[in-house]
Structure 1
């Protein structure tokens, strides 16, 4: 393996080793399915202990960048994360950022307003009859006697379908943070005060505008929905604050 490794400093050797190997993967110096040297060989190259190498490999495995295989032809191999794995990692990281208080509700709403609003243009231009049918089916499902959890999941799927209608894989991937991470968190908090009927009404207006390919009306419907959710999110937060003080 012709890779030039940099010298290490004393802080977090395992982390530094993992980052150097990760960089080699991202830069194409290590290719998918290529086998890494053994733990013993890596330990000798980096001049560290085998447990340190083992910890570095665990870090890479947690990022779905390497996989281990047992047996005579086994070892540690470079792997290609699936789109699903990358989506999950991105959504989990975003959720963690919200939990740590890095994103406030105003920033989340503003991001969704701008990003989903931009997606509407392409969605309206490129939506197919299948997209419209799936949106209509999701809307019909929301009007059934379903649990709060099922309603929230359907809400996410409804907006995911709009993003899918853009037929743009970059937009679809980037919207994971908004639709599959931030939206469920907002739903969970605002669920106590928001009205299902109002959400469904906004969804109907949005679907109708997409069917008619009316971008102005679609963006207006999205903005009204987000304004409504923001209002009830704040009410839910106020209720939680009052309850904790009592």
Structure 2
């Protein structure tokens, strides 16, 4: 039995096609969750009731619920008070999904490298006014630590890339806006490793560390325009590396 008085018409039960029924049922429930019609910790109708309302078998409903559970949108509990409940998506789960999705979309589609560079730096530049205003000494200390690490000549390319990600993630976190920092994860943790992978043989680590040090100084002075100019310099340098990468080597 579902909750007394609850109107389960918040889920659209109509217009199912006969193909891929479980996918359509999962999409209907997912849509109700995303629109806020189904709230966190709310129990869904039973498998039997969902099967009756959708006009399908219980195994089909069970498959749909498995799809939703795989997306962390619902959880199932056993026992007399059990059932399927709307899940609360954690920041860490959403973060991992965002980074994975961005990485796959960029890696599996014919997206020009220049478009990736443009998107990443445009997004990161939008963080600079807030980062300059709200940065803490802890944020600056983290950036300084990473910039210093990047000057270590014994640092591997992989470790340099990881340090580069941490440096720019600190800028996003310095905004003090968790939603903005979350959205930046797709740009920094998906796009930046790709950019480093394609340009690491040609880049000048000292030049990058210098740019990072100057960025730190601008943010420390709460000078957003200077920080933006330095970010533009870093974008142009990355575009130059992309251009060199395209040019064939001459003997």
Structure 1 residue runs of 5 or longer lacking an equivalent are none
Q: 2:13 aligns with which of 6, 12, 17?
A: 6
In 2, distance between residues paired with 1:6 and 1:72?
26
Report the 3-state secondary structure (helix = DSSP H, G, I; strand = E; otherwise coil) of the residue aligned with 1:175: helix
In 2, distance between residues paired with 1:74 and 1:237?
58
In 2, distance between residues paired with 1:39 and 1:186?
47
TM-score w.r.t. structure 1 length?
A: 0.88
Structure 2 residue runs of 5 or longer lacking an equivalent are none
Q: Does 1:171 align with 2:180?
A: yes
TM-score w.r.t. structure 2 length?
A: 0.87
- Give the direction of change, closer, same or farther, for the CA distance of 1:115–1:16 in structure 2 (3 Å limit): same
Residues 3 and 29 of structure 1 are in contact (CA less than 8 Å); yes or no, is this contact kept in structure 2?
A: no
Q: Number of aligned pairs?
A: 240
Q: Does 1:189 align with 2:194?
A: no
Q: 1:138 aligns with which of 141, 146, 149?
A: 146
Deviant stretches of 4+, over 6 Å: none
What residue in structure 2 maps to residue 211 of structure 1?
A: 220
What residue in structure 2 maps to residue 159 of structure 1?
A: 168
Q: Does 1:65 align with 2:70?
A: no
Residues 189 and 237 of structure 1 are in contact (CA less than 8 Å); yes or no, is this contact kept in structure 2?
A: no
In 2, distance between residues paired with 1:58 and 1:235?
48
In 2, distance between residues paired with 1:173 and 1:66?
22
Report the 3-state secondary structure (helix = DSSP H, G, I; strand = E; otherwise coil) of the residue aligned with 2:111: coil
Q: 1:76 aligns with which of 72, 76, 84?
A: 84
In 1, distance between residues paired with 2:211 and 2:228?
11
